[in-house]
Amino acid sequence: MAATATLLISCPDRPGLVARTSTFLAERNANIVHADQHTDAEAGLFLQRIEFELDGLDADALGPDFAPIGDELDMEWSLHLPRRQRLAILSSKEPHCLLDLIGRQQMGELAGEIAVVVSNHPDHKLLALGAGIPFRHLPVTPETRDEQEEAVLAVADEFRVDLVVLARYMQVLSDRLVDGLPGRTINIHHSFLPAFAGARPYHQAHVRGVKLIGATAHYVTSDLDEGPIIEQDVVRVSHRDSVDVLRRKGRDLEKVVLARAVRHHLEHRVIVYGNKTVVFD
């Protein structure tokens, strides 16, 4: 496979946009591998993802060359050259999502590498170190929350992190932390949002007597469980399933839903606009 770059664009809709971007690439003799676009008619918004081979191109000149087009057409755009992105995973006591992501890294599934595992509990230390990943134990109490969040930010900085993944991290993040983390932060919530937001969603699902349970991966915003949804899935349950069985069935969902969202993000397939996402899959 030739190395590829990805261009993500969102801008006010108007005729000729596809021609402008594709002509820009054709002039450089770039081969487009995937191109996908979406027009949100209500919002009057054009969104596009173009992935193209870098073979024979001057990669460093692409951004500066495209900038005037972006300016002219009022685009928000980003150009992603091939680079292994660096992830920080925040976890607490439940290991299944962390284990799953480590396994995927070892299978070569992730277009990125786990640079560090951060936890408010010591439980996952051996798991991380056994996989050759640095581990930082940053315990937190209501009194020490500010300091602990400062420490989390410092770790993200130290490890030059591109993406933070909350892999069942059971702490609410302050606005300051959400804003301070580099790039976007992805969380996995163990329900089909917006149903059962907040604490103990499997208990809530059991009490309500739903016939399916779900999991939702979303970008973190200052509104808890209200950020843009990247991926969701569900599994059938029955009256026979205790809360413990819901938890077990839910773990299989959480792992897959979180991994899909992380992969979509790492492959530059997601554009956020308003409180929604476009996932070019």
* Of 220, 224, 223, nearest in space to 201 by CA: 224
* Residue 194, preceding peptide bond in cis (omega within 30° of 0): yes
- Of the candidate spans 85-93, 115-123, 182-190, 205-213, the one that interacts with a second copy by CB under 8 A turns out to be 205-213
Mapped onto helix, strand or coil, the DSSP state of residue 40 is: strand
Residue 184 φ/ψ, nearest 5 degrees: -100, 155
Q: How far is the CB of 171 from a second copy (least distance, A)?
A: 22
Given a contact cutoff of 8 angstroms between Cβ atoms, the answer to whether 264 and 230 are in contact is: yes
201 is a contact residue toward a second copy (CB under 8 A): no
Q: How far apart are CA 37 and CA 22, in angstroms?
A: 12
In the complex, minimum distance from the CB of residue 145 to a second copy, in angstroms, rounded to a whole number: 29
DSSP symbols for 136-158: EE----GGGHHHHHHHHHHHHHH
105 binds a second copy (CB under 8 A): no
- Pattern 232-271, a second copy, x by CB under 8 A: xxx-x-xxx-x-----x--xx---x--x------------
**DSSP helix, strand, coil percent of the chain (3-state; round to 5):** 35, 30, 35
User: 77 near 9, Cβ under 8 Å?
Assistant: yes
* Smallest separation, CB 117 to a second copy (Å): 16
- Catalytic hit among 162, 175, 225, 244: 225
Interface positions, 142-181, toward a second copy (CB under 8 A): none
Residue 78 engages a second copy in binding (rule: CB under 8 A): no
What is the distance between the alpha carbons of residues 248 and 96, in angstroms, rounded to a whole number?
10
Nearer to a second copy, 149 or 202 (CB): 202
Reply yes or no on whether 225 is catalytic.
yes
Taking residues 108 to 147 in sequence order and writing x for each that binds a second copy by CB under 8 A, - otherwise, the string is -x--------------------x-----------------
Question: Which CB, 72 or 281, lies closer to a second copy?
Answer: 281
Segment contacting a second copy by CB under 8 A, of 34-42, 111-119, 141-149, 178-186: 34-42
Contact string 37-66 vs a second copy (x = CB under 8 A): xxxxx-------------------------
Which one of the spans 31-39, 69-77, 80-88, 159-167 is the region binding a second copy (CB under 8 A)?
31-39
Alpha carbon 45 to chain centroid, angstroms: 22
Q: At what angle do helices 96-106 and 243-266 cross, to 10 degrees?
A: 40
Distance CA 89, CA 124 (A): 11
Residue 233: helix, strand or coil by DSSP?
A: strand
Q: Are 95 and 123 in contact (CB under 8 A)?
A: yes
**Which residues are the active-site residues?**
225
Residue numbers of the site for a second copy (CB under 8 A)? Answer: 13-20, 22-23, 25-26, 29-41, 95-96, 99-100, 103, 106-107, 109, 130, 192-196, 208-212, 214, 228-234, 236, 238-240, 242, 248, 251-252, 256, 259, 274-279, 281
